[in-house]
């Protein structure tokens, strides 16, 4: 069963019922970015994994009386109807945006597994699989005296913590606090969208012009979905996976469990508002997508509907603080749909102290380039005792014990702090949002690589239990800060001196670009090493004006460009007595103040005193 939990020990199949347990869920070296390095599973590979997972799945781990069927793309409507008729099954609904995908009710008396086998045997069917049930299970720590959010700023003040064992959010906030242009979908138990610390950061569907007219104004198939959607179709399941109390999906994604509101607060509780807590992003739009009922159960079909909704409504990040050990091709293909749309997915690694390299937990273990798998660390930068791990499949870690956040009904967890990789995951989602705010020219693979490469390498964890390191918001956000204050000056006919502020903390070097008078575009003329803040261009001609710009780079990408700065070289000496030189005023494009005479005449002195901004690498 997909048992989503926070910190319950065990292994797949170790519970009394034999069900697999599920969970909520730097190296500092440079890495190259290549989405193509991850191959998409073939249909044959998917079919093999489906059958293997289904044979091992106990009854109760999937919804009784439902399966998911994917027809081949060339199959027309009449052929699909014939397949259903032959098996005597009834289609329940189509799953939008994933062509040929249907939720199907097998005939009375036919088991789910038999129905899957019969559909899989038909040549018109690409695959069929059970509609697995996913369960949230939360473990709450006993210690109620947690006065601060140590995960954001750890001074060693809590539970014998080690100062600095945090994500350095307080330093990242000096650079960016996020943006309302970034939408993060929280697929979870819903959200208290009226919470005082969340209400200003809740997403609104601009396509719905009226929220109570019972009209689908934006034509997306969801009526009055002004702040998200509730995809739950069953309020109560029994122990056999049979729905005891069905319900219809609706437009009210209210949180009646607590987990989704907790996750949302970590991502985007409004900062600096004199109440409650601060999220990683002070400014963001959080899209509430409710898939879990008040028991903490959901199905793959509900999760897939939520993923497709998030992608189609413009979410840039999806937070999935849950997971299960049963492979679902439908969920895989939905997340690959998100990948093709450029949507970043943060997923929890799990809470069973299990090696995900050996026992994959999904969605975190899906081999897709847009997914980052997140383990949990404690206040001493140790791997949390419950956290799943995997030096190949688990990418980074983030704080996941003694976590304080928002709760439904305008509350906070100040009396019951939570633990789990499900709480580590939204820290990564939040940092991804900060990166998308500052590095708007980056794609999601560059965002993921920046998080990984500029995490903190921990000798007791990195490379042993996780692939990279513990999340560091500051190192990631500051890695390619834009060089500023570019200025150009010339006192010699064949030389122009450039100086700038070296702001980046993770650059490999700086690229120098130049455009001469009469030229239509810039061309790179040089690159200089990391930590450089000056360059002498000795390939210029006398009495000519040149314009320059600079940007930082590393193996992941480039920063944005600096301001542009121009200088005119003096005329070449005419020969004969007197000596001396001709000085031409220097200017920097887009700067509002001109240089004074002392800077112009004493440019050598200016180079000496124009100090580089001190950089902090934490």
Strands 534-537 and 523-529 come out as unpaired
Q: Which residue carries 């997915």 as its tokens?
A: 345
The CATH H-level superfamily of 2-32+140-185+273-288+300-478 is Peptidase S8/S53 domain (3.40.50.200)
Tell the CATH topology of 484-609.
Immunoglobulin-like (2.60.40)
Distance between CA atoms of residues 589 and 515, nearest Å: 13
Left (φ > 0), alpha (ψ -120 to 50) or beta: where does 237 sit? beta
Left (φ > 0), alpha (ψ -120 to 50) or beta: where does 309 sit? alpha
Distance between CA atoms of residues 328 and 564, nearest Å: 52
- 3 state DSSP class of 436: helix
Specify whether the CB–CB gap between 236 and 293 falls below 8 A.
yes
Q: Which residue carries 């069963």 as its tokens?
A: 1
Residues marked as catalytic: 188, 259, 422
Domain boundaries, the chain: 2-32+140-185+273-288+300-478, 35-135, 484-609
More confident residue, 36 or 480: 480
Global pTM value: 0.82
Q: What is the CATH number of domain 35-135?
A: 3.30.70.80
Distance between CA atoms of residues 185 and 205, nearest Å: 12
pLDDT in tens, 18-60: 333 333 333 333 333 444 456 678 888 898 889 888 988 887 8
The tokens describing 572, both together, are 């070449």
The tokens describing 457, both together, are 């390498």
pLDDT in tens, 417-447: 789 999 999 999 999 999 999 999 999 999 9
Closest of 460, 186, 129 to residue 306, by C-alpha: 186
**At residue 570, does pLDDT exceed 90?**
yes
**At residue 115, does pLDDT exceed 80?**
yes
Once rounded to an integer, what is the mean pLDDT over residues 507-518? Answer: 96
Count of beta carbons in the 10 Å neighbourhood of residue 34: 10
Query: pLDDT grade, residue 101 (50/70/90)?
Result: very high
- b vs e for 162-191, b when ≥16 Cβ sit within 10 Å of the residue's Cβ? eeebbbbbebbbeebbbbeebbbbbbbbbb
Specify whether the CB–CB gap between 267 and 279 falls below 8 A.
yes
Once rounded to an integer, what is the mean pLDDT over residues 171-185? Answer: 95
- Minimum mean pLDDT among 250-259, 414-423, 446-455: which range? 414-423
For the chain, the residue count is 618
- 3 state DSSP class of 284: strand
Residue 100 is classified by DSSP as T
């Amino acid at each position: 069963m997909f048992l989503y939990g926070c910190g319950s020990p065990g292994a797949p199949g170790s519970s009394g019922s034999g069900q697999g347990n599920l969970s909520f869920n730097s190296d500092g070296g440079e890495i190259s970015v290549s989405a193509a390095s991850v191959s998409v599973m073939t249909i044959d590979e998917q079919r093999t994994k489906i059958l293997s997972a289904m044979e091992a799945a106990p009854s109760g781990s999937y919804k009784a009386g439902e399966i998911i069927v994917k027809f081949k793309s060339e199959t027309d409507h009449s052929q699909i109807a014939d397949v259903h008729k032959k098996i005597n099954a009834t289609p329940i609904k189509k799953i939008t945006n994933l062509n040929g995908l249907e939720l199907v009710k097998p005939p009375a008396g036919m088991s789910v597994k038999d129905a899957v086998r019969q559909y899989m045997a038909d040549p018109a069917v690409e695959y069929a699989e059970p509609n697995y049930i996913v369960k949230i299970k939360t473990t709450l720590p006993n210690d109620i005296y947690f006065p601060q959010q140590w995960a954001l700023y750890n001074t060693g003040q809590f539970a014998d913590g080690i100062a600095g064992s945090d994500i350095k959010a307080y330093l990242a906030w000096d650079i960016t606090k996020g943006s309302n242009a970034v939408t993060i979908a929280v697929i979870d138990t819903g959200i208290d969208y009226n919470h005082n610390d969340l209400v200003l950061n809740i997403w609104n569907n601009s396509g719905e012009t009226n929220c109570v007219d019972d009209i689908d104004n934006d034509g997306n198939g969801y009526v009055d979905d002004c702040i998200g959607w509730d995809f739950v179709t069953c309020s109560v399941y029994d122990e056999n996976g049979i729905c005891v109390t069905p319900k219809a999906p609706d437009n009210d994604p209210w949180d009646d469990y607590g987990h989704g509101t907790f996750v949302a607060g970590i991502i985007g509780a409004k900062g600096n508002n004199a109440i409650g807590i601060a999220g990683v992003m002070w400014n963001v739009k959080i899209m509430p997508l409710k898939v879990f009922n008040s028991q903490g159960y959901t199905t793959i079909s509900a999760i897939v509907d939520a993923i497709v909704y998030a992608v189609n409504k413009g979410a840039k990040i999806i937070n999935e603080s849950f997971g299960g050990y049963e492979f679902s091709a439908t969920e895989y293909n939905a997340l690959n749909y998100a990948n093709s749309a450029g949507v970043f997915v943060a997923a929890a690694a799990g809470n069973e102290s299990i090696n995900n390299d050996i026992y994959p937990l999904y969605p975190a273990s899906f081999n897709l380039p847009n997914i980052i798998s997140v383990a949990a660390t404690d206040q001493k930068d140790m791997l949390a005792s419950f956290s799943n791990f995997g030096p190949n499949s688990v990418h980074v870690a983030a704080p996941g014990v003694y976590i304080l956040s928002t709760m439904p009904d305008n509350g906070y967890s100040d009396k019951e702090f939570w633990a789990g990789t499900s709480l580590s995951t939204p820290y990564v989602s939040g940092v991804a949002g900060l990166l998308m705010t500052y590095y708007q020219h980056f794609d999601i693979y560059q965002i993921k690589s920046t998080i990984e490469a500029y995490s903190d390498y921990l000798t007791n964890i990195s490379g042993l239990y996780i692939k990279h390191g513990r999340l560091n918001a500051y190192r990631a956000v500051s890695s390619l800060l834009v060089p500023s204050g570019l200025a150009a000056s010339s006192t010699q006919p064949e030389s122009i001196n450039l100086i700038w502020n070296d702001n980046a903390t993770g650059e490999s070097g700086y690229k120098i670009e130049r455009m001469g008078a009469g030229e239509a575009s810039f061309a790179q003329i040089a690159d200089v090493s990391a930590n450089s803040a000056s360059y002498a261009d000795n390939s210029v001609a006398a009495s000519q004006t040149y314009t320059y710009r600079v940007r930082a780079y590393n193996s992941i990408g480039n920063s944005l460009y600096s301001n542009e700065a121009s200088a005119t070289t003096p005329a070449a000496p005419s020969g004969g007595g007197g000596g001396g030189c001709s000085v031409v005023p220097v200017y920097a494009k887009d700067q509002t103040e001109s240089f004074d005479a002392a800077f112009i005449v004493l440019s050598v002195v200016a180079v000496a005193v124009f100090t580089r901004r001190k950089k902090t690498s934490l």
